[in-house]
Amino acid sequence: MTEHNPITLHWFLPTYGDSRGITAGGHGSGFLTGSRPADLDYLTQIALAAEHNGFESVLTPTGLWCEDAWITTAALISRTSKLKFLVAIRPGQVSPTIIAQQGAAFQKFSDNRLLVNVVVGGEDHEQRAFADYSSKEERYHKADETLEIIDHLWSSPEPLNFQGEFLSVDDAVLKEQPEVSPPIYFGGSSQLGIEIAARRANVYLTWGEPAEKVSEKLDRVRAVAAQNQRELDYGIRLHIIARETEAEAWEVAQRLLDQLDPEEVARIQAGLARSQSEGQRRMTELHGQGSAFSAGAGARTLEIAPNLWAGVGLVRGGAGTALVGSYEQVAQTILRYRDIGLDHFILSGYPHLEETYHVGEGVVPELLKLGVAVKNHENRRSAKVATPFISR
């Protein structure tokens, strides 16, 4: 029998606002907005709910459409005690020495609760708004050089002189190295993205596709990692709609779908069609760039694999699929993904506050009943699935 590491569950911090409907926009299709403002008190509620429910970290996005990830998560350090922060950064926009300083300071003041998500930026026009006029290929190479510099600064007290194709530093040094170097999470579906991730990442990330497509991608990454004499962990980014019964979960998916305006779907899909991201292209292919949607459509017409729903991606750029089903069904689907090599599950749901409890009190006990070890839940009983205390 194959030995598996415990799976690690992460949550998402919606620093653009939250909503009871699918938050539209992102990745070239416009601004993400929510009906619940992303003020510090509300983000604190989400962070504390994630901490209470045993999530390892919260992924905090980067982009024009959200608050700055460093400032936001730094503000949450003292409001939490165990929760880690998976902070998204865009190499090439900021000096690698400054990024290394930020990471070292974050580790010092948070008691080593930083994880780093590398985002190269999929859209040239958004990068130009940040005064970055490089091509996507150049951004990948900048990320490669940035991570090489940061790795040295976090691990060695020796001043660094580095002359790369895109970046150079002279006598770069930190006041002190972090006690723990923050792990690097990195996604990329293009061949170049896979090559850089295999060389620099600790955890390779993918968006949620059917298991067979994910497995094919992971095999490609493993092969390149092996060429670099490296072994990675693997993670997946998914939304989640889990309820006590299958019918209840699909009722929620149907309600979310019924809120969508076909004209808005068409507008957003037109924007996403211009995306330079290979991962985004793969996401929009799952629902035929919106062609699988029409007013009054049943939610299950967008079920692209058992308990995997493509409805979120009709209006949201980036991660566009959700696990939908009973707590038991969702746990079984997570198990299927675990069996192809995924250890990290970065989840989110609408609204993000309430949905943490459906995972923590509903899905996690079912995972434990299936014999799946879940990090931060080692001592929790798995005999009975608790009924979430939140209102439906």
pLDDT tens for 32-86 read: 667 899 999 999 999 999 999 999 999 999 988 899 999 999 999 999 999 999 9
The answer to whether residues 257 and 311 touch, using CB atoms and an 8 Å cutoff, is yes
Q: How far is CA 349 from CA 65, 180, 323, in A?
A: 18, 31, 10
Q: Are strands 308-309 and 322-326 parallel, antiparallel or unpaired?
A: antiparallel
Please state, in angstroms and rounded to a whole number, the distance separating the CA atoms of residues 302 and 25. 19
List alpha helices for 111-182, DSSP H: 124-129, 136-155
Mean pLDDT estimate for the chain: 91
Joined together, the tokens standing for residue 185 give: 């999470």
Dihedral, CA atoms, 309, 311, 316, 321, nearest 10 degrees?
A: 0
pLDDT at 136: 87
List alpha helices for the chain, DSSP H: 40-52, 69-77, 96-110, 124-129, 136-155, 191-200, 211-227, 246-258, 262-272, 278-285, 327-339, 352-358, 364-369
Classify domain 8-239+325-369 at the CATH class level: alpha beta
pLDDT band at 380 (very low <50, low <70, confident <90, very high): low
* pLDDT above 80 for 117: yes
Contacts of 334 (CB under 8 A, 6+ apart): 7, 323, 345, 363, 367, 372
User: Residue 41: is it exposed, middle or buried by C-beta count within 10 angstroms (0-12/13-18/19+)?
Assistant: exposed
pLDDT tens for 363-378 read: 999 999 999 999 999 8
Q: What are the residue boundaries of the structural domains of the chain, listed by start?
A: 8-239+325-369
Q: pTM to 2 decimals?
A: 0.93
Question: What is the gyration radius of the CA atoms in the chain, in angstroms?
Answer: 20
